[in-house]
Amino acid sequence: MRVTVAEDRVIRIQGDPDHPPTHGALCTKVSRYAERVEHPERVLYPMKRSGPKGSGQFERVSWDEALGDIARRLQAIAARNPQAVLPYSYAGTMGLLQGEAMAARFFHKLGASLLDRTICASAGAAGLQATYGGKLGMHLEQFAGSKLIVIWGSNSIASNLHFWTFAQQAKRAGAKLWCIDPRRSETADKCHRHLALKPGTDGALALSLMHELITRGWLDADYIERHVEGWPELRERALQWPPERAAQVCGVPADDIRELARDYGTTQPAAIRLNYGMQRVRGGGNAVRLVALLPCLTGAWRHPSGGMLLSASSWFLRAIDHAALQRPDLLAGRRPRTINMSTIGDDLLREGSEAFGPKIEAVVVYNSNPVAVAPESRKVVQGFAREDLFTVVLEHFMTDTADHADYVLPATTQLEHLDLHTSYGHTYVLLNQPALSPRGEAKPNTQIFRELAARMGYDDACFFDTDEALARQALKPGIAYEALQAHGWQKLPLPDAPFAEGGFLTPSGKADARGADHLPNHECAESTPALAAQYPLAMISPPARHFLNSTFVNVKSLRSIEGEPLVEIHPDDAAPRGIATGMLVRVFNDRGSYRCKAEVSTRARPGVVNGLGIWWRKFGVDGTNVNELTHQQLTDLGRAPSFYDCLVQVAADAPATSVAPAVA
Ligand SMILES: Nc1nc2c(c(=O)[nH]1)N[C@H]1C(S)=C(S)[C@@H](COP(=O)(O)OP(=O)(O)OC[C@H]3O[C@@H](n4cnc5c(=O)[nH]c(N)nc54)[C@H](O)[C@@H]3O)O[C@H]1N2
Ligand SMILES: Nc1nc2c(c(=O)[nH]1)N[C@H]1C(S)=C(S)[C@@H](COP(=O)(O)OP(=O)(O)OC[C@H]3O[C@@H](n4cnc5c(=O)[nH]c(N)nc54)[C@H](O)[C@@H]3O)O[C@H]1N2
Ligand SMILES: [Mo]
């Protein structure tokens, strides 16, 4: 990103045209980033709660008062049991310094509970780890040279724009594009073929593709022989999945599966852009394993423009020293329990016990908005509303979570602080240099934890490291801080075709097919018939194009594009329910109810509704959002939430032309 500034104000924000993977392009959201930084509702001063929990009533206090009181409260809790304190953070910034650096040092020193950061990607990560030995994949730029691209569980135009540019280059050069997505997304519209499978059935589809590769003779026997472990067993299982059987499970024509298999089996180089949408279901981890094996069966990995990409973030382990940043040695032999961030709803409501450990008495939230983004909101809200819970939130805005805080501390944005970034989509290390001075009394997360550490009396040298010192400590030999300062970014030294000769990072060096299987255990008529009789529609809740999870929802120019919270429903499901576009509907199940506007549209496939996310609850008709309906059941691998594995019913509520949000 290049920011032009005059008198400490942003004049212009552009992409860096020299940076190969992003090539000068910014998405709509980030191109409006200045609107967010200078937003009139930005939290600019430390705020202390002055009304009941969750009331959103706060008064301004000094940093001195806020930090002093927070340190005293945390110390009192820690004196009983430090594990009663829980850090809660995720993707607000994905920067290494403002993420888990000084914060991690602070909580390690305290001996706080550890957080299992599972809310987004850990099912897929576990799938890749098991299969390839890490989150490893193709170079983004190489998709431009592919002859076939399967965009699988990804609305690239909305959420992976930089990839989409390369896919378009390939398309212009004659490549065929397939999209595998229950929703007819903006991306599906632009692909040659769209397979609108039922959510949670990707594993069955992958097995059926394998069936065709085997029976039609499209396998690369030499690559399999040398670089795949456990294929004979998986081969037997795949042979039980002829296209007719998968067609039944996936809800798509068998001939479409055959056509996709033929394209995949007979085109080189063939690339799969897998993304996280398809692993937010209970069988998501194994589904990723099966898809990750496809390029090993056809030898697609032999080509730089063949193979697959879900995440390439493990390549960065060669460049980044996370232990130097996070200093797990500060635990000094203590082994605190781990809390899964995806079950925060249940865990905040748990009493202390032998198995669970102490009741959670304090939560420090940074880079996250759990009240809006975590599953089964009713419980999450109930937990954060506990009068006996001490909550500190580092934020830019009064989010749904900040509303429940005892203290809200003003944090800086990307434009106001230093940071170091990796990526899961591309293979470049980047330096984020501040362009503006901090607004109001905002401080970087690092600085807030540094000052809190001082108040707690932590005098280890590592609590005095500056942000630049942190960045230097994070870089392993080969990436120089000065080079990043000069150019902004540096590419990781990696071969163009990383697995052309095998060399996976598994212990055997082979792609591991052992134990990869499909368990059709998502919520559906076959596996949960009683539930499906009551709640016959499957609901997925992928992001709205102009929001970034729950970030940007309060930026007016972006919210006005998205309009109002809505659910897309297919005409065949809308008609019998008397639902028309613009009507207010009630989407509900045993966990809760969410009222929003209906959009009758073939973007939804029959039997599936799309509740686009993630709105702030306070913008919802009843002060709720789509996570009122999602559950806390975890995936087969990786302990991740299964947001897109969620049966609901939809009913007409009242005719309405416009739904007034609770907050203007
Ligand atoms: N504009 C925008 N961009 C974003 C984000 C955002 O909120 N807004 N979020 C960022 C983050 S944190 C992430 S993790 C990524 C998320 O981006 P992706 O990894 O692409 O994941 P999703 O957007 O959750 O889902 C992608 C597509 O998968 C489809 N899908 C849902 N269920 C299934 C299924 O069972 N099988 C298959 N095959 N497809 C399914 C959805 O309809 C959706 O179109 O995007 C990042 N980029
Ligand atoms: N139903 C449903 N739920 C989902 C998803 C879905 O697809 N459907 N997607 C899931 C996914 S993929 C993810 S990654 C999670 C995302 O969940 P979160 O990680 O909670 O992401 P955001 O909702 O964007 O909230 C991040 C907050 O961090 C703040 N922030 C940004 N930068 C900074 C900073 O530098 N310092 C501080 N202190 N704060 C900062 C922002 O203002 C914002 O309020 O949501 C998950 N929840
Ligand atoms: Mo995510």
Q: Are 500 and 306 in contact (CB under 8 A)?
A: no
Full set of structural domains in the chain with CATH: 2-120+318-491 (3.40.50.740), 123-310 (3.40.228.10), 529-655 (2.40.40.20)
pLDDT at 522 over 90: no
Assign 3-state DSSP to the chain and report helix, strand, coil percentages, each to 5: 35, 20, 45
| 311: CB partners within 8 A, 6+ apart | 121, 124, 125, 128, 135, 137, 424, 425
Q: Are strands 608-611 and 566-569 parallel, antiparallel or unpaired?
A: antiparallel
State how far the Cα of 52 lies from the Cα of 75, in Å rounded to an integer. 24
Q: Which residues on neighbouring strands pair with residue 384, listed in sequence order?
A: none
For helices 243-250 and 202-215, the axis angle rounded to 10 degrees is 170
Distance between Cα 89 and ligand 2 center (Å): 9
- Could you write out the DSSP letters of every residue in 346-364? HHHTPPPBTTTBSPP-EEE
Structure tokens at 446: 């690092």
Distance between Cα 192 and ligand 3 center (Å): 27
- Read off the pLDDT of residues 523-580 as tens digits, 9 standing for 90 and up: 998 889 999 999 999 999 999 999 999 999 999 999 999 999 999 999 999 999 999 9
- Read off the pLDDT of residues 182-231 as tens digits, 9 standing for 90 and up: 999 999 999 999 999 999 999 999 999 999 999 999 999 999 999 999 99
Structure tokens at 442: 């905002």
Share of residues in the chain with pLDDT > 90 (%): 96
Distance between Cα 265 and ligand 2 center (Å): 39
Quick check: helix, strand or coil at residue 316?
A: helix
Q: Which ligand is nearest to the CA of 94?
A: 2
> CA angle at residue 294 from 605 to 539, to 5 degrees?
20
Buried b (16+ CB within 10 A) or exposed e, 2-34: ebeeeeeebeebebbeebbbbeebbbebbebbb
| Distance from chain centroid for Cα 511 | 25
Q: Which ligand is nearest to the CA of 373?
A: 2
Distance between Cα 120 and ligand 1 center (Å): 10
Ligand 2 environment, Cβ below 6 A: 90-93, 98, 119-120, 366-369, 372-373, 394-397, 399, 411, 445, 541-543, 548-551, 613-614, 626-627, 630, 643
Distance between Cα 72 and ligand 2 center (Å): 29
Quick check: helix, strand or coil at residue 5?
A: strand
Q: Which residues on neighbouring strands pair with residue 114, listed in sequence order?
A: 338
Of 12-26, 55-69, 623-637, the range with the lowest mean pLDDT is 12-26
Helices (H), 375-528: 377-384, 445-455, 467-474, 481-487
| Distance from chain centroid for Cα 635 | 15
Ligand 1 atom nearest residue 155's Cα = 44
Ligand 1 atom nearest residue 275's Cα = 19
- Read off the pLDDT of residues 398-434 as tens digits, 9 standing for 90 and up: 999 999 999 999 999 999 999 999 999 999 999 999 9
Q: 490 phi and psi, to 5 degrees? A: -145, 135
Instruction: Give mean pLDDT, residues 256-261.
Output: 98
Using a 10 angstrom Cβ sphere, with 0-12 exposed, 13-18 middle and 19 or more buried, the burial of residue 634 is: buried
Structure tokens at 491: 């590419």
Residue type (1 letter), 15? G
- Nearest to 192, CA basis, from 246, 253, 146, 151: 151
- Read off the pLDDT of residues 488-503 as tens digits, 9 standing for 90 and up: 999 999 999 999 999 9
Quick check: helix, strand or coil at residue 300?
A: helix
Q: 516 phi and psi, to 5 degrees? A: -70, 125
User: For a substitution probing ligand 2, which of 122, 159, 280, 368 has the most ligand atoms within 8 Å of its CB?
Assistant: 368
Residue type (1 letter), 124? G
Distance in Å from the first CA to the final CA of the chain = 31
Structure tokens at 454: 């001082």
Q: What is the pLDDT of residue 657?
A: 47
State how far the Cα of 598 lies from the Cα of 565, in Å rounded to an integer. 9
Residue with tokens 């992001």: 543
Element at 529 (helix H, strand E): helix 529-534
